[in-house]
Amino acid sequence: MSYALRLRNLRHMMAEQQIQAVLLTDRFSKYYIARLYSASGYVLITQESQTLLVDGRYMAECREQSPEFDIRPLSEPYGLAHHLADIHQQYPWSSLATDAAQLSHQAWNTLAAQCDFPLQHWDTCGLRLTKQQDEIELIRNAARIADRALSSVMPFIQPGISEKALADQIEMAVRQAGGSKTSFDTVVVSGLRGALPHGRPTEKLLSHGELVTIDFGAVFGHYCSDITRTFALGQVSFELEKIYHTVLRAQQTAREAVRPGISCQELDWLARDIIDDAGYGEYFSHHLGHGLGLDVHEAPSLRTDNPQRLEPGMVITIEPGVYIPGIGGARIEDDVLVTEDGFELLTNSPREWKDICL
């Protein structure tokens, strides 16, 4: 999908919602529309103009990568409000739409006080909701890299290695498999720490009789993957094995139900009902999954109160889990593309019960 088409689509959304001007502030939307991958800088879009406002560090890069944009330098005394006022004189708008969720309260109030026109909140989550073919291929590659990285670290998942050392191996394996970096800080939790859904790896050593949960992702071409697997280190308790098979059944049921038209809440209920019936309902403490793309957490959110229906081109995660303090936990996660008639599984690492060492 060309950036020109993305820009046309954005302007079509603006026209439908009667928005005359949009100021993009988050790094993912800025890259999506204007190839600017940076926490600093802004992208201003009207129906007649497109402007990149950046400091001197990015001027040359933006001129090379985004020649169709007007590039304006952000430097004292000519800051953002000055440039907005100047552009507003050329291409007037009644209000400026920007995503309040991406600005601090102070930044929003400061900008509002400096501008002679009102600010309007516009949620950018719908901008990248469905992926085009080039984006899907990048996510496919990111998922393949995660699968390869997990396969290469399997020999290290043994009693005696620390959670932190294993996380280090995973992050190195992602780069060796072709990823630019991991999608987020790698999660490795074992034993009783398995009850921490996003526990940070520590110097704790993996031990016989434990479950170990690994959650990581790979970035390829700025697009993310996200995968979680749980393994048994030798023979574990009946309770831990029951937890694992409950999560596996819930995960399989939900991902195989993915199709256009099903709602996010329906998918969450499918997995949650299985976990509830097994007696673990109170220990499934998060939503079933989330969208995936330039950011590792995007719309849509697969939660019980979200009636949004899936559409072809959406990429989501399916990741139920059970976490019991004093016992441990398990989670299994895959990346899933919604297709015209069902789904495509993007992560394919084995998920059946596996004793790493007997």
Q: What is the DSSP annotation of 285-315? A: -S-SEEE-SSSSSEEEEE-TT--PBP-TT-E
Q: What is the pLDDT of residues 220-255, one digit of tens each?
A: 999 999 999 999 999 999 999 999 999 999 999 999
Between the two ends of the chain, the Cα-to-Cα distance in Å is: 49
* Residue 314 to residue 21: CA distance in whole angstroms: 27
Which is nearest to 232 in space by CA: 187, 190, 275?
A: 190
Residues written for the chain: 358
Q: What is residue 144's predicted lDDT score, i.e. its pLDDT?
A: 98
Q: What is residue 93's predicted lDDT score, i.e. its pLDDT?
A: 92
Q: What is residue 282's predicted lDDT score, i.e. its pLDDT?
A: 96
Q: What is residue 107's predicted lDDT score, i.e. its pLDDT?
A: 82
Print burial letters for 79-115: b (CB count within 10 Å at least 16), e (below 16). Answer: ebeebbeebbeeeebeebbbbbebbeeeebeebeeeb
Phi, psi of 81 (to 5 degrees): -60, -35
DSSP-assigned beta bridge partners for residue 350: none
Q: What is residue 335's predicted lDDT score, i.e. its pLDDT?
A: 98
Phi, psi of 200 (to 5 degrees): -80, 140
Print burial letters for 257-291: b (CB count within 10 Å at least 16), e (below 16). Answer: ebbbebebbbbbebbbebbeebebeebbeebbbbb
Q: What is residue 100's predicted lDDT score, i.e. its pLDDT?
A: 80
CA 115, 116, 117: angle at the middle one, nearest 5?
Answer: 90
Over the Cα atoms of the chain, what is R_g?
Answer: 23
Phi, psi of 337 (to 5 degrees): -95, 130
Q: What is residue 318's predicted lDDT score, i.e. its pLDDT?
A: 98
Contacts 24+ apart (CB under 8 A), 271-275: 271/318, 271/320, 272/304, 272/320, 274/246, 274/249, 274/250, 275/246, 275/247, 275/250, 275/320, 275/322
Written as six digits, the tokens of 242 are: 């029951």
Q: What is residue 340's predicted lDDT score, i.e. its pLDDT?
A: 97
* Residue 302 to residue 287: CA distance in whole angstroms: 6
Site of tokens 């620390």: 162
Letter for the amino acid at 341? Answer: D
Q: What is residue 112's predicted lDDT score, i.e. its pLDDT?
A: 83
pTM over 0.75: yes
Q: What is residue 124's predicted lDDT score, i.e. its pLDDT?
A: 86
Q: Give residue 188's Cα distance to chain centre.
A: 19
Q: What is the pLDDT along the chain (358 residues), one digit of tens a residue?
A: 578 889 999 999 999 999 999 999 999 999 999 998 888 889 999 999 999 999 888 888 888 889 999 999 887 666 788 889 999 999 999 989 998 888 888 888 888 888 888 888 998 888 999 999 999 999 999 999 999 999 999 999 999 999 999 999 999 999 999 999 999 999 999 999 999 999 999 999 999 999 999 999 999 999 999 999 999 999 999 999 999 999 999 999 999 999 999 999 999 999 999 999 999 999 999 999 999 999 999 999 999 999 999 999 999 999 999 999 999 999 999 999 999 999 999 999 999 887 666 5
Phi, psi of 227 (to 5 degrees): -140, 145
* Residue 39 to residue 260: CA distance in whole angstroms: 34
Q: What is residue 2's predicted lDDT score, i.e. its pLDDT?
A: 75
